[in-house]
Structure 1
Amino acid sequence: MFGFSYIVGALSLASAVSSTGILLPLYSWPEDNTTWSPVYNAAAAHPDILFQVIVNPSSGPGDTTYPDETYIAGLAKLNSYDNIQVIGYIPTEDAERDVSAVKADISTYSNWSSYKAQNITVSGIFFDEAPNANDQTKISYMQEISESAKSSNLPTVVFNPGTKLEDGSAAEYFKAADLIVEFENSYSAWTSTVPANDLSGGYYSKAAIILYSAPLTADYETVVQEARGMGLGAAYLTNSDDYKTVDSLVKVAASFVQASRC
Structure 2
Amino acid sequence: MLGLTTILSAFLAFVSLVSSTSILVPLYVWPEDDSTWAPVFNAISSYPDVQFQVIVNPNSGPGETAYPDENIIAGVAKLNSHDNVQVIGYVHTEYAERDISEIESEVSTYSKWASYKAKNITVSGIFFDEAPRTNDAEMISYMQTVSTKAKSSDLSTVVFNPGATLEAGSVDEYFKAADLIVEFENSYSAWKTCIPAEQFSSSKHYAKDAIILYSAPETADYRAVVQEAQSMGLGAAYLTSTDNYMSVETVTKVAASFD
Answer yes or no: same fold by TM over 0.5.
yes
Asked if 1:230 corresponds to 2:226, the answer is no
- Whole-Å Cα distance in 2 between the matches of residues 200 and 86 of structure 1? 27
| Residue 181 (structure 1) aligns with | 182
Q: Which amino acid aligns with 2:33?
A: D
Which secondary structure does the structure 2 equivalent of 1:205 belong to? helix
Q: Which amino acid aligns with 2:113?
A: W
Q: Which amino acid aligns with 1:195?
A: P
Whether the 8 Å contact between 2:183 and 2:200 is mirrored in structure 1 is yes
- Whole-Å Cα distance in 1 between the matches of residues 218 and 250 of structure 2? 7
- Whole-Å Cα distance in 2 between the matches of residues 71 and 18 of structure 1? 30
Which secondary structure does the structure 2 equivalent of 1:256 belong to? coil
Asked if 1:69 corresponds to 2:53, the answer is no
- Whole-Å Cα distance in 1 between the matches of residues 27 and 219 of structure 2? 22
| Residue 211 (structure 1) aligns with | 213
Whether the 8 Å contact between 2:130 and 2:162 is mirrored in structure 1 is yes
Cα deviation, residue 256, structure 1: 1.2
- Trace 1:99-248 onto structure 2 (pairs within 5 A): 99-201=100-202, 202-248=204-250
Q: Which amino acid aligns with 2:102?
A: A
Whether the 8 Å contact between 2:19 and 2:230 is mirrored in structure 1 is no
Asked if 1:30 corresponds to 2:31, the answer is yes
Q: Kindly, what percent of the aligned residue pairs are identical?
A: 68
Which secondary structure does the structure 1 equivalent of 2:185 belong to? strand
Paired residues, what number?
242
Q: Which amino acid aligns with 1:164?
A: T
Cα deviation, residue 34, structure 1: 1.1
| Residue 254 (structure 2) aligns with | 252
Cα deviation, residue 108, structure 1: 0.4
Relative to the length of structure 2, the TM-score reads 0.92
- Whole-Å Cα distance in 2 between the matches of residues 29 and 200 of structure 1? 34
Q: Which amino acid aligns with 2:223?
A: E
Runs of 4+ displaced beyond 3 Å: none
Q: Which runs of 5+ in 2 are unaligned?
A: 1-15
RMSD: 1.0
- Whole-Å Cα distance in 2 between the matches of residues 52 and 191 of structure 1? 24
- Whole-Å Cα distance in 2 between the matches of residues 223 and 129 of structure 1? 24
Cα deviation, residue 18, structure 1: 2.6
Whether the 8 Å contact between 2:214 and 2:241 is mirrored in structure 1 is yes
Relative to the length of structure 1, the TM-score reads 0.91
Cα deviation, residue 216, structure 1: 2.6
- Whole-Å Cα distance in 1 between the matches of residues 152 and 196 of structure 2? 34
Cα deviation, residue 71, structure 1: 1.1
Asked if 1:55 corresponds to 2:56, the answer is yes
